[in-house]
Chain A
């Protein structure tokens, strides 16, 4: 039996109720305890329709759901305990735009798409009345019902320009509100019933006076269509969500609507739903990507201790410090007790945060104009360009315990000073601008200024350091030109390892991440241009290996870390903001307006505990506390913001615990690497790979270690997976070189065949939108694709390809948009031998050969073949193709060969009415006795194919629209399958 365990897709209704949040995804509503972020229950409300609206009435203990033509009135408690309330589903003849409980709660109003209101008794669901507004029955795009003590107002958003407000009791029009252009996407009254907010295709928000019908205010801000609006905080604020992926907060004051905040909440496209909890502190949004995001609107503690100081105001309260015009902050260090800073005039000042006092520690001309500040838990160091190093050690309250100063004689001048911590020690790495000078590393006891060792390292030519890390006895330096250097501190004369990256900017951070069970050491590295890397170092062999390359979507990258939830966080600058971004979940978690990346800034402490951002502004300093939100970031992780075009499980049985690794490739140009918990169905995303610049066509694991992704611009990438660390990592191993500069030339599909007993070297067939067919051989040792066969079928687009090895020959099978199967025998064209269905090294000469004329061409479908699966029978030298087409049909075709090049082809079976829409994916299951198919009619079917006949065994509806792909993997005990179905969302099934 097919059973759905989890589904992530467009969330169209979200609703706070007490400490819970009710969120719809497809026909389900999931209940969350939102402050904990825990899921309480998932309840199926409708058979097929998506839930578009939720209304709670505490008084009568009832909850109203509507969506499409379905409506349900359910006991509130049932939603917390039942797995479904399907028996309560009722249907109405028209699409329901909105529903509300009446003022006295003994009626329910349902507004339908033709501006009709049905009045229903919630007890026995009898229809008491149906009301219309004479002459105004055109189809609506939106609508809402405002229930007031003595009046019910119907607010109808039409398809063109106008909003109609009518009175349900008098059945008279109250207003026709003109001013918008295009379809009205949302129209909603305020709590008091005095105001009306609306938005349309023109992308503006308008506020209307419901007492006069006058337009009060028009506000702009969203960069795309706005889908939902809601008043809160006694009509003083409005919240909006949009196609532009943002949620915005607006203030309404003195008849003017002004934007207050912008929150980026979803990926790529469309935020559909929004709600604000009673006190106005938290909002929840539901996106097209299925993400349920919590937003802290107001916080009792956020920005609580933020401070801004200017040197001028400090001088008014700080004894011994005279501010001079033009004096600026040159460096600073944050402690638990407060701050120590140095100015451009050599004034060293201390701030004690508990008493809010400023002290002057020193005023020293020698540290004027140039100084670098570094520090640890209780010591601050200042170094000037003459290599003079001054340190202050403090006690917990900020009193100076020790003041030291010495001159570093190993270098002639100082240009940079970096800091690193490791294993109870603190390191200062001091660089001279003189190339002949060494790189000096000072080792101190942690949290003190007791120098324990000094290392004089030979500085590589052209190295300009930018960041540092120490691990064991190794110093890692990140530098300009995106280079990394690894020095051995136990053997300072040993030459360093140079780490080369593809990037060309400057390395902004290097950090130790973890050591694997086998002793491999993992580091992360960020580059200012937005790329980041993970690499391992083999210190004995002086070698390194990059195991992950990726990039952030926009902005400058300054650093990264894993947080306590094992999410990978990156930080840096995006336009005018400093921000921290959760790369695992693809959402921003902190942002602060900032003057520009060139200003001096530093991040202290650790995230979730005591993180502080300090940066120089004007002639002063700003200190911002970075606190974790009081609420979970998300109630549910989302998936791609646009259609998922392909998905593939890692085909190895020993995946991490009960979690299966899989990839998804989307129209949004990214590939996600995620796991699914095979028991609960919970998805977890690790990486969103951004190497493709066009929408994905296919992505497939070709064995345990490699997967391949392809799309437009002739992009085809080979990725290598590393499983040895606590998180999976993937590296873009190789790309196919495009043959031309045509952005539309798509690689539609590929198939791979490994050499016998080999998991590293393979041949790969690729098919293109211009009818090209190519065959490549891949050598792991050389990390190189070589073109073996090149040619064209005709001019039509080819959707599918398979390499089919038979007893002693290799067949190439393609399926284009013309509904045919075309077969070539390519045995003599490849530099390998084929024996018993296996590929062997033959030592043949390489070189590109032309694709000859096909040996078979056979029409099976009336339109393009969307997907196929192939089963081969080596013994009888034949293979069968199970195919699904754009013509709604599924077919079984047999190809057999009697050693002749031309095969005998026979259509064994065909169901021309297999689905009511395009059959989009076909998978062989149960030792090729069954077929699992998906189709755009949103049905998953299992077919019995034992006697080469097609018999439907099971059909299940999926709420995933644009159902386009699926993959299966057998359960470890052989008793069933795990199934992923992708389209507009992703769902996980078991059979």
Chain B
């Protein structure tokens, strides 16, 4: 699909380009913040799985308004992929599961705790729903691992989720670490997509639990003792049992006056289509595409 047809189809895509955002997902964080105001008094914030950087752009614009007293504010964006620079954002190309990353961020924050941590990360989906949902949950738990080491008590955590068959397990697990767990859906996220955002307010870990990142520990090992990944391995494999599940309160964000991402808008087609703020990255299958163009990859012999 060409850029102009995508413009017609998706008003948020068009708006993102007009406002200089790298992706339409910027509006999701904007709409979430408009409802929850978690960025209002935030001083130190972390954006995990940040590439291409649209959420970091939102953080930058919200935390560093022109003329504000903002000298102590810090934004750190982490991703395995390289990212182009963003004003007022410290970019780390690093692994969020590695203790070294935690150390670097802690040093950047001069030992102080973070107020807000977010992650809009999602793995490349395979189409195997159960595996995709598992990998997404593992990604959230990895982000959460680091977050528990960084967040101040009362701090907030937001991550992208897919509301599939096991999301209620995730709600239940996060309920042990935060005062309140909410499932929020911004108007800029399509109603036809399983995507939502888990908004965890008021970080409040069990008093007897100390988070500790270790390269050789799994996510389950990490959360031992705080009711997450609760499967305690004894001497034998436990029989199947229903895991604890709970349903989070649902909140629609963005207000009814904002654009509906499911709607078709008849925008003026004469307006020239803008170039995307950032061109797509090199995919791993770049060579395959090249071979396909040359007719070397076919469906018949």
Contacts and interface: CB of A to CB of B under 8 A. Distances in A.
Interface of A: 10, 12, 46-50, 67-68, 70-71, 86-87, 89-95, 113-114, 116, 120, 124-127, 130, 132, 134-135, 137-139, 141, 159-160, 180-183, 185, 200-204, 220-223, 225, 227, 243-246, 259, 261-262, 264, 269-270, 272, 288, 574-577, 591, 593, 740, 742-746, 768-771, 795-797, 799, 817-819, 862-864, 866, 886-889, 912-913, 915-918, 936-938, 957, 961-962, 984
Interface string B124-136: 1011111100110
B283 to A, nearest CB: 8
B300 A10 contact: no
A980 B41 CA distance: 51
Contacts of B239: 87, 89-91
Contact of A120 (B130, B237, B247): B237
A985 to B, nearest CB: 10
6 contacts: A93-B231, A771-B263, A796-B262, A797-B264, A917-B167, A937-B163
Contact of B300 (A113, A135, A576, A796): A576
Contacts of B142: 139
Interface string B254-296: 0010011011111000000000000000011111100110001
B237 A71 contact: yes
Most chain A beta carbons < 10 A, residue from B129, B183, B239, B259 = B129
B39 to A, nearest CB: 23
A184 to B, nearest CB: 10
Nearest to A917: B163
A93 B229 CA distance: 7
B252 interface: yes
Given A93-B233, A795-B260, A797-B262, 16 more contacts: A68-B130, A91-B240, A95-B131, A126-B236, A225-B126, A746-B264, A770-B266, A817-B263, A819-B252, A863-B185, A864-B262, A912-B249, A913-B247, A916-B167, A916-B168, A957-B165
A47 B299 contact: no
Contacts of A221: 297
Interface majority SS (helix, strand, loop, mixed), chain B: loop
Contacts of A181: 284-286
A322 B20 CA distance: 79
Interface in B184-239: 185, 191, 194, 215-220, 229, 231, 233, 235-239
A971 B213 CA distance: 59
Given A262-B299, A262-B301, A916-B167, A132 B216 contact: yes
B164 A139 contact: no
Contacts of A984: 129
A753 to B, nearest CB: 26
A26 B63 CA distance: 47
Contact of B231 (A91, A124, A957): A91
Nearest to A87: B239
Given A137-B217, A817-B260, A744 B297 contact: no
A39 B293 CA distance: 43
Given A90-B239, A288-B127, A768-B264, A938 B216 contact: no
B113 interface: no
Contact of B250 (A87, A127, A201, A863): A863
A957 B8 CA distance: 39
B134 A93 contact: no
A419 B296 CA distance: 42
A962 B127 CA distance: 11
A917 B164 contact: yes
Interface string B1-17: 00001001100000000
Nearest to A861: B252
B237 A125 contact: yes
A795 B287 CA distance: 43
B251 interface: yes
Most chain A beta carbons < 10 A, residue from B9, B163, B259 = B163
Nearest to B129: A961
B219 to A, nearest CB: 8
B243 to A, nearest CB: 9
Contacts of A225: 126, 285
B55 interface: no
Interface in B154-194: 163-165, 167-168, 171, 183, 185, 191, 194
Contacts of B288: 202-204, 220, 223
A141 B167 CA distance: 21
Contacts of B265: 770, 795
B40 interface: no
7 tightest Cβ-Cβ pairs between the two chains A and B: A182-B284, A961-B129, A203-B288, A181-B284, A917-B163, A90-B237, A916-B168
Nearest to A112: B218
Nearest to B220: A93
Contacts of A90: 237-240
A486 to B, nearest CB: 38
B263 A795 contact: yes
Most chain B beta carbons < 10 A, residue from A185, A575, A917, A918 = A917
Contacts of B287: 202, 204, 220
Given A120-B237, A770-B264, A817-B263, A48 B218 contact: no
Contacts of A259: 301
B299 A918 contact: no
A916 B130 CA distance: 16
B138 interface: yes
A48 B165 contact: yes
Contact of A200 (B191, B229, B284): B284
Given A114-B218, A769-B264, A864 B191 contact: yes
A225 to B, nearest CB: 8
A223 B298 contact: yes
B235 A201 contact: no
Given A202-B288, A797-B262, A70 B240 contact: yes
A743 B5 contact: yes
Given A138-B97, A203-B285, A91 B262 contact: no
B86 interface: no
B262 A961 contact: no
B245 interface: yes
Contacts of A818: 256, 260
Given A93-B231, A95-B134, A863-B185, A261 B301 contact: yes
Most chain A beta carbons < 10 A, residue from B183, B215, B237 = B237
Contacts of B292: 223
Most chain B beta carbons < 10 A, residue from A67, A138, A264 = A138
A272 B128 contact: yes
Nearest to A574: B300
Interface in B48-64: none
A698 to B, nearest CB: 13
Nearest to A243: B127
Nearest to B170: A916
A226 B5 CA distance: 30
A889 B250 contact: yes
Contacts of B128: 10, 12, 272
Contact of A916 (B8, B191, B245): B245
A124 B236 contact: yes
A242 to B, nearest CB: 10
B262 A887 contact: no
B273 to A, nearest CB: 15
B91 to A, nearest CB: 19
A744 B13 CA distance: 14
Contacts of B134: 68, 95, 113
Contacts of B235: 126-127
A227 B9 CA distance: 32
A127 B236 contact: yes
A886 B247 CA distance: 14
Contact of A127 (B97, B237, B297): B237
Nearest to B5: A743
Contacts of B218: 93-94, 114, 116, 137
Contacts of A49: 130
B80 interface: yes
B295 to A, nearest CB: 11
